[in-house]
Each structure stands twice: as structure tokens, then as C-alpha cells.
Structure 1
Amino acid sequence: MSNARTARLSRRGLLAAGGALGLGALVTACGGDDAKKDGGSESTAAAKSGPWSYKDDRGTTVKLDKVPANIVAFTGVAAALYDYGIEVKGVFGPTKTKDGKADVQAGDMDISKVTVLGNVWDQFNVEKYATLAPDVLISTTFDSAGTLWYVPEASKEKIAKLAPSVAISVFDRQLTQPLQRVWELAESLGADMKAAKVTDAKKRFEEASERLRKAAKANPDIKVMAGSASQELFYVSGTNLSVDLEYFKALGVNFVEPSEADKKATGGWFESLSWENVDKHKADIIMMDDRSSAIQPADITEATWKKLPAVKAGQIIPRSAEPILSYDKCAPLVENLAAALEKAKKVS
């Protein structure tokens, strides 16, 4: 992807443009608890019966005669709901890799049991969607307008006519807030939130967060960089638009921060560097985008990359730039960073 093309892309497009999606889709960040307080499930359904309502993060309240049974969701949201025992009928978004295996964003779902309506950006089979007789469509939103992630602009009106939608915001807030919103959504859909698996995962996340706080405090000089790789460019994310990075920063992690001027071409999301300039920022740990849209560290052949101190020291860890929003999936992300900080050497 050329620099010129990068500059032309919209913010939403940037988030989905190959490796850029990597760093971009970190679209979440520094908000407070207001969205959570304003949202909140209004459902009192204890089981899958009776009327159902849910006020989403756009301020839209969806009301149905019964708890949704035919759910269609963005793959990452479906994976989070799956962790709470809620299964969906259809998904859209990165679900299968080229070799037919489950994409990292599909989590623990059995992808052979869901109808895949679209596997890549701008792909959504509306006709197939209609045959599922959807009760509700659920996705995330990465902007203040409530744009549904991975719902194509060209067909969004047709899609909207077939079922109401619910949006979980991963914009301008920290990780704990969308985690809570998905928890509330799963509960409204009939999930058993007192199940040991669920409560244990939440406790693990909370303990991991405290561990990360202590590790960051004990290692304030360790500099962490969030990166993503494409064939032509290396992307360095700022923390102020990233749900995970903003949370980690709040716990005390010392991040590389590209200047606002350097992020301007991407609407403030991230800085694009040529591989010749990949050593611009000094970092002791590099977190690399683990999505299938990004080139993975083992496959990077650029000599400039291999010369980076963090690479030579083996201080590279994966990063879920679009976290699956369940405590079960987010706890390991926090633990991995805490462990990396605990044992990192100052190499920059």
C-alpha cells in the first residue's frame, strides 16, 4: 500500500487496509465510564423468553417480543458471545484463513457451524443474510457516528431493513468498558454470568491487570512499541485511539508515541514508516499485530527489522489489535504484556 493511497483513505478505510488495519483498528481509547453508564442492558430476561430490549452504545434501544435466537454478528463479537455460551447463526468479518482454518478473530468458535456472510472487508452476502431470518445484527463501532464495523457502505441500507442492529463501541474508551458492555449484552441474551468459567475469567483479568500495573511500575524505563507490518510499510500506533493500548497506558506502561503531526495523514491513528526508517523509534519491547491482515514477525525479511534491538533480544510479543471482548480472551493479553515487562532487558 503506497503512502499516497494511505493518505487518501478514510479513517474507516485505513482500519481495514491490510496491515494498516493492524495498527489502525486499534480504534478505541481514552473514554471514561459515561458510555457505559448511558448504555447498559435494559433487559430483564432471565431466560430466552419474554420481551427483550437492549440500549446500545449509539443510544439506540432495540426492542423485540422475545430474546433473539437468530443472531448475526461481526466475527470478533460472535467469538466473545461464544465464550459466554451464546452462539450465533451467521458471522461477517475475518473468519477463515486462506487454508480454511479459523481466523484469530474467530476465537474458540467452531466456524463450520456458522454461516459466513463475508470473510473480507466490503464483503457481505445480503441474500444469504436474509435466509437466516435474523432477529438482530451485532457489531462493533470504531467512530462517534456509530458506523457498524464490516457492514459495507454500499449495502448497509438493505442490511438494515432485514433486522435491527446493536453496536458495541470500541471508540474513545478503555478496554474495560466494551468488556462490560459485551458482558451486559451476553447476560441479556440469556447467558449464565455466574458460571464458574465466566467468573473465573473475570477474576483472572482483574488479577492480570494488577500484575501489569506492578510490572509497569517496577520497569518504568522499558519502552513498548505497538507495530504492524505490511509489505511496503511498518505502522506504529499511538495509544490514544486504541482500546487495549489506552488501558495498558492507564496501568502505567511506557509506550512509544508518534507525534500528532506524524499521525495526521491517518487521522490520528498511527504513523506509517518505510522499512528503511523502521528504527526511527527506540523500543525495548515490540507488540506486533496478530491479525491475518498483517505480516507476522516470523515472516518479516527486512534487514532493518532484524537489526532492531528488541528483535535481536527476542523481545517481541503478539498483540490483538482487535481484542475479542470477553474476559477469557483479554486476560491472556494483559498477562503476556506483564510477563514481557517483568523479564525485559533495556536494549534501546
Structure 2
Amino acid sequence: MGGAVGLGAVLAACGGSGSKDSAASGSRSADAGPWKFRDDRGQSAEAKSVPKNIVAFTGVAAALHDYGIEVKAVFGPTRTKDGKADVQAGDLDISKVEILGNVWGEFNVEKYAALGPELLVTAMWEKDALWYVPDQSKDKILKLAPSVALWAARTTIPKAIQRHEDLAASLGADVGAAGVVAAKTRFEKAAARLRAAAKSKPEIKVMIGSASQDLFYVSLAKMSADTLYFQELGVGFVEPKVDEAGFFENLSWENVDKYAADIIMMDNRSSALQPDALTSKPTWAQLPAVKAGQVIPRTTEPIYSYDKCAPILEDLAKAIEDAKKVA
């Protein structure tokens, strides 16, 4: 599947080259201006003063929240069918933000305009493709406020966190606050633990999976910020034959046993089928990792703050520490 639209649709339903690590171009003191920030497209967003009316992709809004920056509205998976906060909303109080769109392709441009937006922020999985900003209304949306896009692919968790922290700092966050410092310390300890776990059990092979009713997707570790970082820390991954977009291989349920894996990390997003919904798939039940109870959730779209990423590393470290060689 080629192109940003195709890739985005599949990534959203299941689940760029190198990150740009330039620092924020400006930060504020109180409400001083002007404001400027260079994003991962290499574009500079500018305003006469620090933006207050911020609209962001849900996961980015959740990261900004962890740094003390609140948004007025969000778009992307925010509320589940039962009315609860989606996993990508993190600690956001979803009752206090306007939801402009909750699913792929949905973005209420009229509501967005009525908010008087001063900044739009989202993720980027392919160069210049704005995550959950519909192509058909993108031009209208981008005319209403400056925009910032931050890499979610082909970067690593630490680099992605740093870029979100850069943005938060430019918007007035105190990135030296005690809570932020403590979360960073926990993250660094978790990274050391994961590195040690991977080194102690080099034989353990991990598969990155995502399920739909008809297909099972096996992802290539180096394409996403989380799994590329895990790979850098020494975790061994199944390497699928990826499609032309480069992110994952599509397998029919009859061929789900194509790759041998000791641990399966399953996409935790609400758009993907979860393991308890796969009991009717006989080929799934026969996988060695499933039989051994070595299936764990994967936070496919991490919230890029130290607070949210530290537990991700801790959970994978524990899974490897406890894992048995089964495949």
C-alpha cells in the first residue's frame, strides 16, 4: 500500500527517514512573545505571542498535559464506544476538551474555526503527512492557524520525548519541575533494566503484532519509535517481509504461524482486536507464545513524556525477564 493516505488508513485501522532533533527556536517567560518553533518537517510555526488556544492530536495533547500544557480541543482516538477515555488520551480529562474527531477521517473544521485556534499540533508517520488531519480538508485546516508536526516513526522514544519536551518548553512548561525530573530518572532506570534483560536472554525473540478480523499484521521494529529503541537496547525482534510502505507484513490467519516468536507484543489501540477477542481463531491459539501466556500489550502510539514511556520499558523488561524460550 503506497502513499500517506494508504499508510495512514492502515496504521490507524491496525496497528519518515530520521528524526529532526533541532531544539525549540524560542521559549517564553510568562506571556512574552513573539513565539517560534521549528518542527520535524523543518517548518517554523510563528505567532506574535505564545499560543494559548491549542488544538492537538489526542496523543500529543496527552504528552503536553504531562508537562502542564493544556489544549482546548483534540482530534483522534479520544473516547471509546462506552464513553471512557481511549488509551491514547492518557491522563487527559476528556470531559474538558472539545473533540473535533474521534476516528480516522473525522475532523470538524467548523468547530475548529469557531475555537479561534492559535496552534495545531500532531504526529507524523510519513514525511509531511499530518496524522489524523484529513487530506480532503487539510488545506482549510492549515489556513486557520500555525501547525507543528513531530515524528512518531523512524525516530526513537528518547528523541521523540525530547521533541515533545522542546515544544512544551516553548509553550511555557517548566521542564525542570520535580515531577518531570523524577519521571526522567525512572525512565532511565527502566531503559537500563530493559537493556540488562535483553542481554541476559538474547535467545528470546519478540514479534510485534496487530490483529483485525481478516488479517494479522507483523511490524518491522526499526520503523517505529518504540520498537526501534527497544532494538537499540538489545531486544531481538522477528523481521517480517514488509509491504511497500515499509511498516508491516500482512498475514492471513491461516499463515499467522509464519514466524517463530517467544513473546508477542499486541497493538493495544482501540482500533485493533485484542487477544481476548481472538479465541475463535484456532491458529492464534496454537502459537507457542500464546500457549505459554507470553502475550503482552504494545503501546503502539506512545504518549511521548517520560511519565508515560517509563512503564512501557518496565513492562517489556519484566516480560523478557520472565519469558521462557518456546519457539
Distance 2:191 2:318 in 1: 12
The answer for the alignment partner of 1:101 in structure 2 is 84
Residue by residue over 1:10-61, the C-alpha shift from the partner in whole angstroms, topping out at 9 and shown as x without a partner, is 4543343377531xxxxx7x737xx20xx21011313233221111111111
Measured at CA, do residues 20 and 155 of structure 1 come closer, stay the same or move farther in structure 2, by a change above 3 Å?
Answer: closer
The answer for the alignment partner of 1:31 in structure 2 is 18
The answer for the alignment partner of 1:196 in structure 2 is 178
Match of 2:189, as an amino acid? Answer: E
1:211 aligns with 2:193: yes
Residue by residue over 1:104-163, the C-alpha shift from the partner in whole angstroms, topping out at 9 and shown as x without a partner, is 10111000100000111111100000111000000011112x111110000011101110
Question: Would you say the 8 A contact 1:15–1:21 is kept in 2?
Answer: no
The answer for the alignment partner of 1:16 in structure 2 is 9
More displaced 10-residue stretch of structure 1: 213-222 or 59-68: 59-68
Question: Would you say the 8 A contact 1:175–1:247 is kept in 2?
Answer: yes
Show the 5 A alignment for 1:85-124. 85-124=68-107
The answer for the alignment partner of 1:54 in structure 2 is 37
CA shift, 1:242, in A, is: 1.1
After superposing on structure 2, the runs of 4+ consecutive aligned residues of structure 1 that deviate more than 6 Å are none
Distance 1:157 1:15 in 2: 18
Measured at CA, do residues 97 and 129 of structure 1 come closer, stay the same or move farther in structure 2, by a change above 3 Å?
Answer: same
Normalized against structure 1, the TM-score is what? 0.90
Unaligned runs of 5+ in 2: none
Distance 1:270 1:50 in 2: 44
SS of the aligned residue for 1:228 comes to strand
The answer for the alignment partner of 2:155 in structure 1 is 173
Question: Would you say the 8 A contact 1:19–1:228 is kept in 2?
Answer: no
Larger RCO (CA under 8 A, 6+ residues apart) = 1
Question: Would you say the 8 A contact 1:228–1:234 is kept in 2?
Answer: yes
The answer for the alignment partner of 1:306 in structure 2 is 285
Show the 5 A alignment for 1:300-339. 300=278, 301-339=280-318
The answer for the alignment partner of 1:184 in structure 2 is 166
Question: Would you say the 8 A contact 1:178–1:325 is kept in 2?
Answer: yes
Measured at CA, do residues 18 and 140 of structure 1 come closer, stay the same or move farther in structure 2, by a change above 3 Å?
Answer: closer
Residue by residue over 1:83-122, the C-alpha shift from the partner in whole angstroms, topping out at 9 and shown as x without a partner, is 1111100100011111111111011100010000011111
Match of 1:293, as an amino acid? Answer: S
The answer for the alignment partner of 1:129 in structure 2 is 112
SS of the aligned residue for 1:63 comes to strand
The answer for the alignment partner of 2:24 in structure 1 is 41
Measured at CA, do residues 18 and 169 of structure 1 come closer, stay the same or move farther in structure 2, by a change above 3 Å?
Answer: closer
Distance 1:288 1:19 in 2: 15
Distance 1:15 1:236 in 2: 16
Distance 2:306 2:313 in 1: 10
SS of the aligned residue for 1:17 comes to helix
CA shift, 1:195, in A, is: 1.5
CA shift, 1:311, in A, is: 0.7
Show the 5 A alignment for 1:234-249. 234-249=216-231
Unaligned runs of 5+ in 1: 1-6, 23-27
Show the 5 A alignment for 1:228-267. 228-259=210-241, 263-264=242-243, 266-267=244-245
Measured at CA, do residues 319 and 129 of structure 1 come closer, stay the same or move farther in structure 2, by a change above 3 Å?
Answer: same
Supply the RMSD in Å over aligned alpha carbons: 1.5
Q: How many residues align?
A: 326
Match of 2:255, as an amino acid? Answer: N
The answer for the alignment partner of 1:142 in structure 2 is 125
Distance 2:246 2:4 in 1: 9
Question: Would you say the 8 A contact 2:27–2:172 is kept in 1?
Answer: no
SS of the aligned residue for 2:266 comes to strand
Distance 2:100 2:68 in 1: 22
1:296 aligns with 2:283: no
Measured at CA, do residues 237 and 11 of structure 1 come closer, stay the same or move farther in structure 2, by a change above 3 Å?
Answer: farther
1:278 aligns with 2:260: no
Normalized against structure 2, the TM-score is what? 0.96
Of 52, 59, 64, 2:47 maps to 64
